[in-house]
Structure 1
């Protein structure tokens, strides 16, 4: 402001002087006995200049085609920008190629291996009943829906008119009409809602797109989100897309969460008028820890926040019957405002879902980008999800097998040299981290990748280190992530444990 005022004053003074000069008596001319003021002369010249510029033809450079030699020279001189940054030498580790379904035993680079690198918690990959349901769905509906749910992607709804006609004309054929009207997407949504004890649910066509579509659907600019610092990339992406004010608390630390909630709400009347959310994972993908839901719900009710719970690794795993974190802690599911989950980890299918109240679900049908703008989940994948839930309800022993395998692996790896278990005893993600980190995440990851590569090459056990891109904001320690399945045998557990102990002792 100090510089603008003198410049404005000087400009005004200069204009005043020019105007005074042209309006002075001496600046007048007499043409044919008529007195003409000086400013009229200037205005006439300006009008003439404008007319001259408007009458000029636009310049068109000569169109001379390039010779073949000139074209070749230009092509030789062109240097394209790289599509991606160069790979560092430390990251040049051959990536294994999976050549069959990612079950407990699979084929990698042409040889049979025991698979602990893929999430298949209930061991349902390759299940005959699920495969049969997929085949029947493909024969009936085809392989895809060819459109979003809001247009023509809800398979079966086009038969509504037929259902109405049959029901009106032949009431005795009601069961046949309902069978014809069976809608695989709506049936799957109802199945999941009934299984979890919620009012309604909504399907998404891709697992990780569920959470980063749901968060921006409810959280907007100006809202406050308090999130765990250990949430995985899909949750981080949803937080960023929401444009909300995001505050992170220490990983799985309820004292840190309570402190932040107190600071945000104490004596701040503005905070009371905006939407506020707590975002956590039930089982954290980056650590294998389990969120203390009972304490989170207590803090939520005390400080009047809403809870968004991501259950991709707990759905079908935790709880007496696999209904997730709420059943595990005995918390009424109604106290969790929004629950999301991917179906690829436990149900041997793809896609995801969000469940909660009718109001929560209906809002997403018009406001969630992943639902509105994406083609709907292929019908055969929805059929697979329903078959997997039926299998879980009919065979509760599969959960006992899973927990037995997790406990056995924890026991066998309790004394592994150079590494330690960082995950919860009930988590199907057994997370191993270095006891003594090098101080560099890159160096730590190189050591862990060497261990994983040796275990695969020498003992035919497929495991993987946790790789994170530069976009991932999680700063938890890297480690080796073992996905335990109900389909693993005791010999599989003993094999991976013995191999890890031997290789870790030689590397770390």
Structure 2
């Protein structure tokens, strides 16, 4: 998911090579022991300043970032309200917390408020327990499985009304939404302080590995002692921290890249709307597009039909893929072909590719019907 085309940039590669010569390949230990080097502290400082938060914390693996952050705060006896459309890493995080998890329908604010009201009634019946119960709302900024955006303004209203803390994962929206790619807080023009903790992978927009969380010092410092992926994993190799810093440099120097990405997202979205027998799911601004069958039959039949489209497109030199989910995942969305947008691909190439997909869909789905 090379949204901003950072992969293969000469300046990023040069920064990584320079870091290898200075620091070696890896740090060989967790951050709290002997794995911290100055480049880690520099990247954390840069990320905090970029996001305009007090502090940031680095993780060596994108998946483990939110999966470690959630159980660092939410424990047995606490309550998590979680969108049913979240990705697998968030699902693993809420599972590891051993908290009482209540899933609400994807992006359905009425269903969320229903659960919050039920919890409020339960708290009234048992005020002693309510006093020691923490409540968390866990969401994605831009959902990778659906390509749509969380209604953050409404969620912040509910946050104050029902006294919950918001954990927001910006893995897909960081480097995408907002005038400077800072995610949905910038996109909706909401002060970032309104969100209790923000997490993101660096593996999509920053051409690196790992992830980060940012927020107030009071919140982030706790992870240095309680975030399992931070405490017990070898720290991020310095060469990858250097690559992320150089990516941030490019993002700050060229903010027009975000407008260019959104422009391409709209173009691809409009082109996908013309596909026969298929519908594109998500908002035009999303760089992750899901194409599903308009007339769904069964999960198995839909998957076979979509795989046939993928195969025929590949015969015409257009490589696309069906979205994949693990058997352990909850609430798997319907089968789909997933397409991601990158600033590195030209408008003309997108038109050619989607014409090929259109031809393949026409052939396969006409035969099926």
Q: CA deviation at 1:447?
A: 1.7
**Equivalent residue of 1:239, what SS?**
helix
Name the residue aligned to 1:472: 329
Name the residue aligned to 1:461: 318
Q: CA deviation at 1:189?
A: 0.3
Q: How do 1:246-285 residues align onto structure 2 when only pairs under 5 Å count?
A: 246-266=101-121, 267-268=124-125, 269=127, 270-285=129-144
Q: Give the distance between the partners of 1:143 and 1:444, measured in 2 at CA.
A: 45
User: Paired residue for 1:359, among 189, 201, 218?
Assistant: 218
Contact 2:179 2:259 in 1 (8 A): no
Contact 2:166 2:197 in 1 (8 A): yes
**Equivalent residue of 2:33, what SS?**
coil
Q: Give the distance between the partners of 2:25 and 2:64, measured in 1 at CA.
A: 21
User: Paired residue for 1:129, among 2, 8, 11?
Assistant: 11
Q: Give the distance between the partners of 1:454 and 1:296, measured in 2 at CA.
A: 43
Contact 2:4 2:344 in 1 (8 A): yes
TM-superposition CA deviations, 1:218-264 (whole Å, max 9, x none): 11001000000011111111111100000010111111111111111
Q: CA deviation at 1:272?
A: 4.8
Q: CA deviation at 1:328?
A: 0.5
Q: CA deviation at 1:132?
A: 0.8
User: Paired residue for 1:225, among 76, 80, 91?
Assistant: 80
- Is 2:62 the counterpart of 1:207? yes
Q: CA deviation at 1:486?
A: 1.1
TM-superposition CA deviations, 1:8-38 (whole Å, max 9, x none): xxxxxxxxxxxxxxxxxxxxxxxxxxxxxxx
Q: How do 1:281-430 residues align onto structure 2 when only pairs under 5 Å count?
A: 281-430=140-289
**Equivalent residue of 2:244, what SS?**
helix
TM-superposition CA deviations, 1:73-115 (whole Å, max 9, x none): xxxxxxxxxxxxxxxxxxxxxxxxxxxxxxxxxxxxxxxxxxx
- Is 2:21 the counterpart of 1:139? yes
Q: CA RMSD in A?
A: 1.0
Structure 1 residue runs of 5 or longer lacking an equivalent are 1-118, 156-182
Q: Give the distance between the partners of 1:442 and 1:359, measured in 2 at CA.
A: 48
Structure label with greater radius of gyration: 1
Structure 2 residue runs of 5 or longer lacking an equivalent are none
User: Paired residue for 2:48, among 173, 186, 193?
Assistant: 193
Q: Give the distance between the partners of 1:286 and 1:144, measured in 2 at CA.
A: 33
User: Paired residue for 2:300, among 428, 437, 442?
Assistant: 442
**Equivalent residue of 2:218, what SS?**
helix
Give TM-score, length-normalised by structure 1. 0.70
Contact 2:178 2:258 in 1 (8 A): no
**Equivalent residue of 1:150, what SS?**
helix
Contact 1:452 1:465 in 2 (8 A): yes
Contact 1:315 1:341 in 2 (8 A): yes
- Is 2:121 the counterpart of 1:239? no
Q: How do 1:55-94 residues align onto structure 2 when only pairs under 5 Å count?
A: none
Q: CA deviation at 1:474?
A: 2.3
Moved over 4 A (4+): none
Contact 1:310 1:340 in 2 (8 A): yes
Range with bigger deviation, 184-193 or 411-420: 411-420
Give TM-score, length-normalised by structure 2. 0.96
Aligned residues: 361
TM-superposition CA deviations, 1:452-505 (whole Å, max 9, x none): 12211x221221111112101123222111110111101221022101111111
**Equivalent residue of 1:225, what SS?**
strand
TM-superposition CA deviations, 1:157-215 (whole Å, max 9, x none): xxxxxxxxxxxxxxxxxxxxxxxxxx100000000000000000000000011011011
Contact 1:265 1:272 in 2 (8 A): no
